[in-house]
Amino acid sequence: MKLWSKEALAIGGIYSVLSTPFLIWQTPVTEQINMFLFSIFIISMFMLYWPKFSLVVSNQTKKFPRILYYLMSIGWIPYFVIIGMVVLFIFIVVFSWQDNTIETTTNIFNLICSWGALVSLVIAYVRVRNKAIK
């Protein structure tokens, strides 16, 4: 089995960019749109096992290397959120945490995502600027 890490990060980056405006404005309509985008993201994650879909994404990474390099730099965020929520849920079940602890943990989690995205984009900009990606 071939590891499709670039393609998975590209899909995560595309989802991150598309879902950001809908996360800012929280209305019932934008929440439904965001859930729809999230379901497409989950489906496309599993579709990477299908060779034709992964080749389409791979061809796009070769066709647009700079744009997809920036998308791949922030593509870790949705995976981090999914894994973080699962781990947080397990800790909540195992340990009977108070509401304040859960709120503090999610605030730290959001801080890591927001600063991590900024740092990832700066690193991607420096690498593209130094012609690491042509």
pLDDT tens-digit series, residues 36-65? 999 999 999 888 888 888 888 888 888 888
d(CA 30, CA 21): 9
17 to 38, 45, 46, 116: CA distances (angstroms): 12, 16, 20, 15
Question: pLDDT at position 3, please?
Answer: 61
d(CA 8, CA 128): 20
Give me the helices (H) in 4-134, please: 5-24, 28-47, 51-63, 65-73, 76-94, 99-129
Give the DSSP letter of residue 131.
T
- CB contact burial 9-47 (16+ within 10 A = b; e otherwise): bbbbbbbbeebeebeeeeeeeeeeebeeebeebeebbee
The confidence band for 1, taking pLDDT boundaries of 50, 70 and 90, is very low
Whether residue 61 contacts residue 6, with contact meaning beta carbons closer than 8 Å, is answered with yes
11 to 54, 60, 111, 120: CA distances (angstroms): 10, 11, 22, 16
Token pair of 21 as six digits:
């405006």
pLDDT digits (tens, 9 = 90+) for 92-131: 777 776 777 778 888 888 899 889 989 999 998 988 888 7
